[in-house]
A and B are shown apart, each in its own frame.
Chain A
Amino acid sequence: MALKHVNAVVVGAGAGGGVVAKELTEAGLSVVILERGDWVSFEKFGQDELINQRTTVLGNAYGPDDRSPRVVEAAAGTWEVVMPHEGGYSNNAACVGSGTVSYGAMAWRYMEKDFRMRSTYGAPEGSTLEDWPVSYDDLEPCYEKAEQEVGVSGDMSANPFAAPRRKPYPMPAFPYNREGRILEAAARRLGLHPFPIPMLRNSVPYGGRNECVHNRYCCGFACPNNAKNGTHNTVIPRALASGNCELRTRSIASEVVVDDRGLARGVRYFDADDRAQYQTADLVVLSGGAIETARLLLNSKSGLFPNGAGNRFDWVGRNLQGHAYSGADGLFEEETFDDVGPGATIAISDFNHGNAGIRGGAALCNEFIRPPYGFTGMRPPGAPSWGKEHKDFQRRFYMRSVSIRGPVQEMPVFDARVRVDPAVRDHWGIPVARLSGSRHPHDIEIGRVIAARAEAWLKEAGAVATWPNVPGLGLSGGQHQAGTCRMGSDPKTSVANRFGQVHDIDNLFLSDASLHVTNGGFNPVLTIMALGYWVGGHIGSRWKGGRLT
């Protein structure tokens, strides 16, 4: 039996999809959200060190599972099938809320220059570095909506580099933990400008949800106290409460159907019982994350788009990027651990821009509390990793160590990309994503500069030993995956226009990090949510008399 036609189908109930679904229902559209995962709760895996979304050695707590493999280029020309909990997969959680259920919840606005990277710095050789077709000023009201409606605790008054804002955060900032206090004094001595990390967590009760109880483990885990704000406990329930929105979980989208006039007609998917279904709609929004959105477009072949929807000029799947996380680790004689979770409390934005000889940079933050298993990998170069020395190191330094990391903004590379694999299919018979390419060498140069800044900060804070941490060239992506369907004004060098509307398919929109032209020197989630408000607001303003005008 045919499913009832609706105004909009949204694929993916993560950061982008959750926000856009809420915006559309409030604009009066009937909406179906297709989410490949299910509702999840804290209780299933609790705070298991080995099964969560950060340490996945025994599996992903919140999906996906082994029904959804990918193919990854291990070395040039050799391809490996990779399972979702294995390294190199670039996993985002498959559940209602996706990564927003279990993230570390840093709530960054990008800076003005982050939207103008090419005109600020010029593209290095071999990079497709470009400006966004929207400015910070365009997105500012959307950032504000995300902060207010989803809920952010913060205070930017001590950060002179922050982009201007009209409204303060809706909740006060979290206080520093012991690491934060040690690092704050050191940063000030160095003439830097430390400030509390803005967080999508409740420092006070907010939106009918509890305040944070400072669990040791938070990043990678659902919140047992409903104090962490994702789309699953804010905008999605609001969309559902409107009566205008249906959320279908365990629903795997396989194709956007595009007709011979170049319009999207609906989405084919497999339901919770693996039955093929077809949901027709007046418009379609894809919010599957940078890799899955690109895969779905590439798997949506039609007469007008034989190489995939929106892929007339071979830009779908290109410019896959994430963050070249760099920083430093340090050991202390005094105890730095106070078990006040989640642990990341302090940041500096002094090195996001204005670094001599490099393009952009990164915010630097102290890290989330590391579980003891994770700490087994934190050793100075050459230190023994086992035996009596291992135990001694754990005992001596687990509570006397600090890590500082920064999400280094990457230079987009055209050949870092998502394709669909010609042979490997998932459980539902859909060709899987195939990832290949590597970072731009300049990312590593930026990483070294950022790591040196972090090391100097740790030394000033009294670390007795420090060592830098810089990633290698290799495929980027990860949970901060972005850039695969960049927005732009020229259809020959971008996939969507400045409102997330796919070039040449007027009723197909994107609303996730695939739109990002560049990925900022910050965790991307608040920008993804802001784009959800931006794209959703645009669709809403064009929705008149029951149709897109």
Chain B
Amino acid sequence: MKGADPAKGEGGSLSRRTVLKLGLVGMIGAAVGAGSTAAIARLGRSMRPRYRFFTDPEADLLIDICEQLIPRDDVPGATDTGAIAYIDLQLCGPLARDRRTYRRGLESFRQTCLRIHRAPFQELAPSAKIGALRLIESGEAPKDLWDDPSAKAFFGAVLSHTMQSFYGSPRHGGNRDYASYRMLGLDYPQVVGQNRYRKA
């Protein structure tokens, strides 16, 4: 039957890139019972990273916030290591209680940047980004925009979760490629003599 294995497809002339894309959507296609390779190929073309909880604009903003908290330098930072994947995944599990904090907090944060800096966060200069976050951290952001959650509560949640993503086990979605353990020079997992990667 056609479409059962989209990677094989019709004609056998798919480029490697298309095969990868199809591989990504293959599971989704199977789940909804899509039967046509063409339909899946169309899906693939419009494919963006999909999130369980966040909208794409929310995710874009949060990725940039997390990157300020753990920036890339000579070792990977929050973006490289999957902070967004961790937070998105956990908000649909153990951290479900914090959904409201993110949904409303990200909107409050977006509006705070527009009011104070007259520009979206992602367009700010690096130093201005840090300044915007310090304002939120200190709780001095405009109170009318931060009724619930408070600015401090929002910042606290994002900070904790970003740290969890970076320093927790990769199986929760973050700490991709054991980046934080490499950074600290720690064997992983912690059972003596059972290192799973080559130490830097």
Contacts and interface: CB of A to CB of B under 8 A. Distances in A.
Contact of A387 (B69, B93, B171, B192): B69
Interface residues of A, number: 31
Contacts of A394: 180, 183-184
B90 interface: yes
Given A59-B94, A341-B190, A48 B183 contact: no
Nearest to B185: A399
A50 B159 contact: no
Given A50-B168, A387-B71, A391-B70, A372 B186 contact: yes
Interface in B151-171: 159-160, 162-164, 167-169, 171
A156 to B, nearest CB: 28
Interface in A170-226: 213-217, 224
Nearest to A46: B189
B69 A213 contact: no
A399 to B, nearest CB: 7
B181 interface: yes
B123 interface: no
B111 interface: no
B47 interface: no
A213 B159 contact: no
Contacts of B95: 58
A372 B71 CA distance: 17
B124 interface: no
Contacts of B144: none
A395 B71 contact: no
A50 B130 contact: no
Given A388-B71, A394-B184, A376 B190 contact: no
Contacts of B180: 372, 394
B169 A388 contact: no
A58 B90 contact: yes
A395 B68 contact: no
B80 interface: no
Contact of B160 (A57, A214, A339, A398): A57
A46 B93 CA distance: 19
B181 A388 contact: no
A91 to B, nearest CB: 15
A242 interface: no
Contacts of A544: none
Contacts of A387: 68-69, 71, 130
Nearest to B130: A387
Nearest to A86: B97
Given A50-B172, A58-B94, A391 B73 contact: yes
Contacts of B184: 372, 394-395, 398-399
B191 interface: yes
Contacts of A213: 191-192
A39 interface: no
A215 B70 CA distance: 28
Contacts of A372: 167, 180-181, 184, 186
Interface of A: 46-50, 57-59, 85, 213-217, 224, 339, 341, 371-373, 376, 385-388, 390-391, 394-395, 398-399
Given A49-B168, A387-B71, A387-B130, 19 more contacts: A49-B167, A50-B169, A57-B160, A58-B94, A58-B168, A58-B172, A215-B192, A216-B186, A216-B192, A339-B192, A341-B192, A373-B168, A376-B163, A385-B159, A386-B70, A390-B70, A391-B70, A391-B73, A395-B183
The 6 closest A-B pairs by CB, nearest first: A216-B190, A373-B167, A372-B167, A386-B69, A50-B168, A58-B94
12 contacts: A47-B191, A49-B168, A58-B164, A216-B187, A372-B181, A372-B184, A373-B163, A373-B167, A386-B70, A387-B130, A391-B71, A391-B183
